[in-house]
A and B are shown apart, each in its own frame.
Chain A
Amino acid sequence: MIINKDKCVGCANCVPVCSVGAIFIGADGLAEINRDTCVECHNCHRSLSPEHLPPALTRLIRRILKSVSLRFQPDPDVCPTDAFAPEDLEWPRIVRRAFSDPMVTHESTGVHGRGTEEVKTNDVSGRIKHGEVGLVVEFGRPGIGTYFRDVEEVTTALAKEKITFEAGNPVTQLMTDKTTGQIREDLLDEKVLSCIVEVTVKLEDTAAILGSLKQMSKTVKTVISIGASTVCDKDGSDPLRDILQNEGFGIGWAKVNLGLGRVANRYVSAGEA
């Protein structure tokens, strides 16, 4: 993302809007973006309403108001002069946007947002089976961001446990070796708003893997959000709840797949069915 300094009037409305705090007012009184911190989520460009005021006139008005101790203050969701301009991103920086802009569809999975269907379509995909648990470990959420090098520290440790990395997940797709959890070297210095590492474990191994994850989280350089999913029994209950409670996790907020999905495509590959 670029801020056009010919247009910016330094109102600072964009500063708090930035998802990772990468925008600041520079020495010239105009907004700047820290390119290392920016994750290319496009939130500033997409969600601020541009007022299309003429920059020179707006600056003059600001100066006049300031001279009489008044302040030019547009609505908090407005960029008065439409100063943001998206740039053409190239590899590897383009990966930042793929993992940070929820309106972008991941090429590797065909899913927008963070790029994975997880258990949300499990009623048709059968991704998680009875006796299995899906663990989703989201790095950088909420609102902190993460570098892939920090993600790799955990994926390489996780790979030594009894887990299987989910193939239909965009982070798995970036691994050079799914048995070691190593991620492409050219991406390790790229920062994203968040990314989801997704593994499948056996129900009986869940407590041990969660214990390992807790240990790993003590040294991780960002925040991680963990989710655990499983298939319900015929009566609608699930065996995971007790395991989680025994491990000290509170049971409250959850996502429930109601099971209303039905395979409907004319052709479904054998591997998918």
Chain B
Amino acid sequence: MTNTLHRYGKEDTQGNDFIVFAMAGKGFNDEGSLEKAKTFLRAAIKYEPINMGNALVNSLYRPEKDLSFIKLYFTGRKEKTTYEELIDEIPAAGSAAVVFDDPERVKNFVADVKALDLGLSVNVSALVDNVRDICGEVDITPHAVEYTLGFHGDTDRLPDRETMSIATMCGHGMVSSHFARKMIDRVKEGRIEPEDAACCMAKFCVCGVFNISKAMMILDTAAKGE
């Protein structure tokens, strides 16, 4: 999956968007990798990532399959699970991902992961020079880099910039551009708060790489008509 490679946006929203994920190579280091992936995710908890997931279970933000009229209107919804609950229910090692909106936390987390020496492949998706800075600070020489070269082909079919900035945060396309547009419009109309709209959209990104903070920033800007 190239789930985090093509996040569209202006540099002011990209600068605080970091996805750190670990995965095992099939046939190389996948034996026993489930517990290592869980260790990776648990190590992130103290840095309070803004999202987390592994694609085989839903992310921190998730739909409620036992929703009822009573829950919806009286006792309230439970739209977010805890880090520990999520980690405990992971059935197999996929790609374990955490999202941060603060480079300092990324740096400290990466330093911890390096010290843990799990042997999993660890990647950081972000603005490349920010990642290189972090690597320098924690004394890591990166192994490889993959650059996004943008969107090509029949680009007339793509939506507007605001919508793209939100929808491309789920690289698998589960936050549809129509839904992102609907939420932007609702925020602009004052029918939903940016935070509620961001959390609502995050439920659709099963890998847990949707950046709530970035979404709120985009929605806030849109709400002001900027």
Contact = CB atoms under 8 A, between A and B. Distances in A.
A226 B149 contact: yes
The interface residues of chain A, by DSSP majority, are classed as loop
Interface string B133-155: 00110001111111111111111
Given A227-B146, A258-B143, A102 B128 contact: no
A127 to B, nearest CB: 9
A142 B63 contact: no
A117 B8 CA distance: 22
B174 A47 contact: yes
B180 to A, nearest CB: 9
B174 A43 contact: yes
A167 interface: no
Interface in B94-138: 94-95, 110, 113-114, 117-128, 131-132, 135-136
Contacts of B110: 258
Interface stretch (A27-35, A88-96, A179-187, A248-256): A248-256
Nearest to A272: B27
Nearest to A229: B146
A240 interface: yes
B117 to A, nearest CB: 8
Given A228-B147, A254-B148, A259 B1 contact: no
Contact of B141 (A236, A262, A268): A236
B64 interface: yes
Contacts of B121: 120-124, 257, 260-261
Closest 9 CB pairs of A and B: A113-B1, A259-B143, A121-B25, A229-B146, A261-B121, A16-B178, A254-B128, A262-B119, A217-B152
B140 A258 contact: yes
A15 interface: yes
A100 B65 CA distance: 22
Nearest to A139: B153
Interface of A: 15-21, 41, 43, 46-53, 74-78, 100, 102-103, 109-125, 128, 134, 136, 138, 141-144, 168, 193-194, 196, 210, 213-214, 217-218, 220-232, 234-236, 238, 240-241, 244, 249-266, 268-269, 272
B53 to A, nearest CB: 10
29 contacts: A16-B179, A16-B182, A17-B176, A43-B176, A46-B63, A49-B77, A75-B200, A102-B206, A119-B144, A123-B143, A142-B164, A214-B152, A217-B152, A217-B153, A223-B151, A225-B6, A232-B145, A249-B149, A253-B5, A253-B148, A254-B148, A255-B123, A256-B128, A256-B145, A258-B135, A259-B140, A261-B122, A265-B27, A272-B27
> Most chain-A CB neighbours within 10 Å: which of B6, B68, B207?
B6
Q: How large is the interface on B (under 10, 10 to 19, 20 to 34, 35 or more residues)?
A: 35 or more
Contact of A264 (B29, B142, B146, B183): B29
Contacts of B120: 260-261
Given A144-B157, A253-B148, A256-B135, A232 B29 contact: no
Interface in B5-30: 5-8, 11, 14, 21, 23-30
Given A20-B176, A251-B147, 14 more contacts: A51-B67, A115-B1, A143-B176, A221-B153, A226-B150, A240-B147, A254-B128, A256-B145, A257-B123, A258-B114, A258-B124, A258-B135, A261-B25, A266-B31
Nearest to B125: A255
A102 B1 contact: yes
B172 interface: yes
B168 A224 contact: no
Contact of B174 (A102, A128, A214, A232): A102
A19 B176 CA distance: 5
B111 to A, nearest CB: 11
Given A102-B1, A102-B172, A261 B29 contact: yes
Contact of B154 (A142, A220, A235): A220
Interface string B30-62: 111000000000000000000000011000000
A111 B33 CA distance: 14
Contact of B124 (A46, A47, A100, A255): A255
A120 B5 CA distance: 11
A142 B204 contact: no
A233 to B, nearest CB: 9
A253 B127 contact: yes
A190 B141 CA distance: 43
Interface string B70-114: 001000010000000000000000110000000000000010011
